[in-house]
Amino acid sequence: MIPEIGHFALILALSLALCQGVLPLIGAHRNDPAMMSVARTAAYGQFVFVAISFGCLIWAFVQDDFSVLYVANHSQLSLPTVYKVSAAWSAHEGSLLMWIFILAAWTMAVARFNAGIPKVLIARVIGVLGLLSVGFLLFALLTSNPFERLIPAAIDGADLNPLLQDPGLAIHPPLLYIGYVGFSVAFAFAIAAMISGDLDQNWARWTRPWTIVAWLFLTLGVALGSWWAYYELGWGGWWFWDAVENASFMPWLIGTALIHSLAVTERRGLFKSWTLLLSISAFSLSLLGTFLVRSGIIVSVHAFATDPTRGFFILGFLGVVVIGALALYAWRAPELDSDVGFSPLSRETFLLLNNVLLVVATTLVLMGTLAPLIVEMLNGGKISVGPPWFEIAFMVPMIPLVLLLGLGMHTAWRKQSTGPWIRLLRIPAIVAVLIGIVLPLFFYGRVSLLLVVGCAAAAWIVISSLILPVRSWRREKGASAITRSALGMSIAHLGVGLFVIGVTIVSAFGVESDRAMRQGETLDVAGFEFELREVREVQGPNYTAIEGVVEVRRDGEFVAVVRPQKRQYLVQKNWMTEAGIHPNWNKDLFVALGDQLGDGAWSVRIQYKPMIRFIWLGAFIMALGGLVSVSDRRYRKSAS
């Protein structure tokens, strides 16, 4: 019964989404308040029914309703309840429903929090979001119904993929989707502006907070995915440039360019066509990402198992949305050129470079991701493009970007006089270079050009980001209290600096050791002694495991005990590695148990990961900066 309610609710949501999509847009065109006000009601209504539907699905999981095919495929009686809930979005149909739910939630938020924004604009924004909802709802109802029945019902389910039986599944997809889907709001604002032909500084001010919130969730989502892969997949890597990872990273890169571009449009009415194009691109890349993951077109451990019919549907939807938006863009953008100027040393210049470098980076990632496909289509056979290429290609635009980052923050709008600028920044620059040389040398005993550049860049960004907050705190030279916007910027950039430090150090000084070990043996890795004390069997709620107890010492002194496991889940019978990790603010000690070799020996992978936590800490701080920035008074003012 409940699944049928869920299904029916979805159909009702579709009809509401149709109203929400069509009527307000017509109403905006005719300036008909009655039709425009349908937007809010329909948005609320759609949300309610989508929530009911999603709730029914989760209920089916919690109640072990194996007469629902999706539940039978992805759950199991002995699965811990928290995983039964997150299993609801662990595969294609359920995660699509979650996408629809999040889109409805964002739409409701826009319908609720739009004080000060003209009714016509809001009607169009909600209308566009409604059309997007229609597309996704049709996709779900026509090709990917999560409520499909399994007759006769299964006695027990096929179990959730053991890799996903982890808190990461509860948090990573929701955060990621909130980000992905959130860019549809910026997209809708862009479409609305292109329809009306009005794109001004007010428009930018209204769009900006929505975009920043979406961006910060995407930052958290991507960072969490990286962290999860690190501790779950057992090989100690945190980014593989896998197609699906790239699919989440490209919207992030463009989203970052977008929030900066919006700043220029808001402040000086410049970069309008940039901002438009970036708004369209961010969401288009979200759609492209969804396509890559769900269509079966690429091979990846992240990809959903699904069939090409669904791929065609998404591609069709993607085509209509993106081509439609870009056609509008080609029509309206020429009219948006402004006559405002700026001098070479100005914040506009730096933000222009920011846009350019981020777009170059995104294009390169897109190129690398699609190259195997394109080459194959041109009958060039199958090729692979992996980390060796991506790492080099990505560095090319990124190194200049991180260097410029520290400069742009302190450059005035329109024209910055060189004298004070140099005086402000020369000491931090020199200190940064010194740190760049001293840090690796002193703490890790080695230097190289890349190391110095990485450490110096990180130090430079950190110091530069602290200038404004520190000045404001000390009320230097009559400086006023720092605005939340500027504080958010400083915090976010500080996060970037921490991120760069993490990446630089762990790439340069991380140590990995694969060895055979017997019980009682000790292995020396990176100055730590790892002793495999014993290997024993343990029981989990729905798995049995072989656990290794590894004691870690340094110079004879006890540091930690880690317990890497090899788990065999009761239903799927696949073996899984759970790494034993001893985390620390400045290093991780990572031990993973491999196969049993002959005569009591086990293969063990031990890794020393210095400063790796800074990678995710940096991302988290970036998101925090976004949050602080969005709480600025000017976004909470109701009048324009």
Binders of another protein in range 257-286 (CB under 8 A): 273, 277, 280-281, 284
167 binds another protein (CB under 8 A): no
Which region, judged by CB under 8 A, interacts with another protein, from 62-70, 296-304, 545-553, 622-630? Answer: 296-304
For 246, 272, 475, 480, 628, the CA distances from 469, given in Å and listed in that order, are 34, 30, 10, 11, 13
In angstroms, give the least distance from the CB of 292 to another protein.
9
In angstroms, give the least distance from the CB of 414 to another protein.
6
Question: How far apart (Å, rounded) are the C-alpha atoms in residues 126 and 122?
Answer: 6
DSSP secondary structure code for residue 150 in this structure = -
Size of the site for another protein (CB under 8 A): 98
168 binds another protein (CB under 8 A): no
Q: Which of residues 102-161 bind another protein (CB under 8 A)?
A: 161
315 binds another protein (CB under 8 A): yes
In angstroms, give the least distance from the CB of 307 to another protein.
10
Query: Among candidates 155, 142, 143, which has minimal Cα distance to 65?
Result: 155
Which region, judged by CB under 8 A, interacts with another protein, from 61-69, 314-322, 403-411, 452-460? Answer: 314-322
For 78, 155, 191, 213, 423, the CA distances from 65, given in Å and listed in that order, are 13, 10, 42, 36, 69
For 283, 390, 449, 627, the CA distances from 288, given in Å and listed in that order, are 9, 19, 37, 27
| Residue with Cβ nearer another protein (359 or 468) | 359
Which region, judged by CB under 8 A, interacts with another protein, from 72-80, 177-185, 382-390, 449-457? Answer: 382-390
Binding mask 538-567 for another protein (x = CB under 8 A): ----------------------------x-
| Residue with Cβ nearer another protein (31 or 309) | 309
For 81, 105, 258, 292, 577, the CA distances from 163, given in Å and listed in that order, are 16, 29, 34, 21, 9
237 binds another protein (CB under 8 A): yes
User: In a 3-state reduction of DSSP, which class is residue 592?
Assistant: strand
In angstroms, give the least distance from the CB of 271 to another protein.
10
- Taking CB under 8 A as the criterion, the residue among 45, 182, 251, 397 binding another protein is 397
The values of phi and psi at residue 40, to 5°, are -65, -45
In angstroms, give the least distance from the CB of 270 to another protein.
8
- Taking CB under 8 A as the criterion, the residue among 196, 201, 202, 300 binding another protein is 300
Which region, judged by CB under 8 A, interacts with another protein, from 37-45, 114-122, 304-312, 526-534? Answer: 304-312
Residue partners of 629: CB distance under 8 A and separation at least 6: 212, 484, 485, 487, 488, 489, 492
251 binds another protein (CB under 8 A): no
Edge-first strand order for the sheet with 587-596 is: 511-518, 601-610, 587-596, 580-582
388 binds another protein (CB under 8 A): yes
In angstroms, give the least distance from the CB of 517 to another protein.
10
Question: How far apart (Å, rounded) are the C-alpha atoms in residues 127 and 268?
Answer: 29
In angstroms, give the least distance from the CB of 153 to another protein.
24
Question: How far apart (Å, rounded) are the C-alpha atoms in residues 179 and 365?
Answer: 19
Q: Which of residues 16-75 bind another protein (CB under 8 A)?
A: none
Q: DSSP per residue over 84-96, as a string?
A: HHHHTTSSHHHHH
**What is the token pair recorded at 136?**
């996704």
419 binds another protein (CB under 8 A): no
The residue type of 574 is N
In angstroms, give the least distance from the CB of 481 to another protein.
24
| Residue with Cβ nearer another protein (26 or 523) | 523
467 binds another protein (CB under 8 A): no
The values of phi and psi at residue 47, to 5°, are -60, -45
**What is the token pair recorded at 14?**
């579709």
77 binds another protein (CB under 8 A): no
329 binds another protein (CB under 8 A): yes
| Residue with Cβ nearer another protein (33 or 319) | 319
**What is the token pair recorded at 221?**
């989502």
